[in-house]
Structure 1
Amino acid sequence: MSYCAAIETMQPEARKDLHKRYHDHHYGFPIHDDNELFGRLIMEINQAGLSWETILKKEESFRAAYNNFNIAAIAAYTEADRERLLNDAGIIRNRLKVNAAIENAKTIQQLQKEFGSFEKWLEHHHPKTKEEWVKLFKKTFRFTGGEIVGEFLMSIGYLPGAHTESCLVHQKAVKAGALWAKK
Structure 2
Amino acid sequence: MNRCGWVNQDPLYIDYHDHEWGVPVYDDRLLFEYVNLEGAQAGLSWYTILKKRENYRQAFDQFEAEKIAQYDEEKIAELLHNEGIVRNKLKVNAVVTNAKAYLKIVEEFGAFHTYIWSFVDGKPIQNHFKEMKDVPATTGISDKMSKDLKKRGFKFVGSTICYAFMQATGMVNDHIVSCDCYHKRNNSLGINEEKLTT
Matched, 1:102 2:96: yes
Residue 159 of structure 2 corresponds to residue 146 of structure 1: yes
Question: Is the contact made by 1:34 and 1:118 (CA closer than 8 Å) also made in structure 2?
Answer: yes
* Identity among equivalent pairs (%): 37
Task: Kindly indicate whether the alpha-carbon contact (under 8 Å) linking 1:30 and 1:177 is maintained by their aligned counterparts in 2.
Answer: no
Contact 1:75 1:105 in 2 (8 A): yes
Q: Distance in 1 between the 2:104 and 2:188 partners?
A: 28
1:66 maps to what in 2? 60
Counterpart Cα distance in 1 of 2:4 and 2:25: 20
Please list, as runs of the form range in 1=range in 2, the aligned pairs for 1:106-117 lying within 5 A after superposition.
106-117=100-111
C-alpha distance in 2 between matches for 1:176 and 1:79: 45
Give the alignment's Cα RMSD to 1 decimal: 2.1
Partner of 1:29: 23
| TM-score, scaled to structure 1 | 0.85
Q: CA deviation at 1:177?
A: 4.7
Q: Distance in 1 between matches of 2:189 and 2:100?
A: 28
Contact 1:28 1:173 in 2 (8 A): yes
> Quick one: which of 148, 156, 161 aligns to 2:169?
156
* SS of 1:31 mapped into structure 2: coil
**What residue in structure 1 maps to residue 137 of structure 2?**
none
- Higher helix residue share: 1
How many residues are paired up? 170
Q: CA deviation at 1:142?
A: 1.1
Deviation at 1:160, TM superposition (A): 4.1
Q: Which amino acid aligns with 1:136?
A: D
1:29–1:177: 8 Å Cα contact kept in structure 2?
Answer: no
Moved over 6 A (4+): none
- Post-superposition Cα deviations, 1:40-59, rounded to whole Å, max 9, x if no partner, equal 11111111111212111111
Cα distance in 1 for partners of 2:73, 2:172 equals 36
Q: How far did residue 124 of structure 1 move? A: 2.8
Q: Larger deviation: 128-137 or 102-111?
A: 128-137
Q: Deviations over 1:105-127 (max 9, x none)?
A: 11110111110111011123334
**Any unmatched runs of 5+ in structure 2?**
122-139, 191-198
1:172 to 171, 184, 188: 184
Q: Structure 1: which amino acid aligns with 2:156?
A: F
Query: Does the CA contact (< 8 Å) of 1:58 and 1:91 recur in 2?
Result: yes
Q: 1:167 to 1:130 in 2, by over 3 A?
A: same
Once residues 160 and 26 of structure 1 are traced to their aligned partners in structure 2, the CA distance between those partners, rounded to angstroms, is: 11
Structure with greater Cα Rg: 2
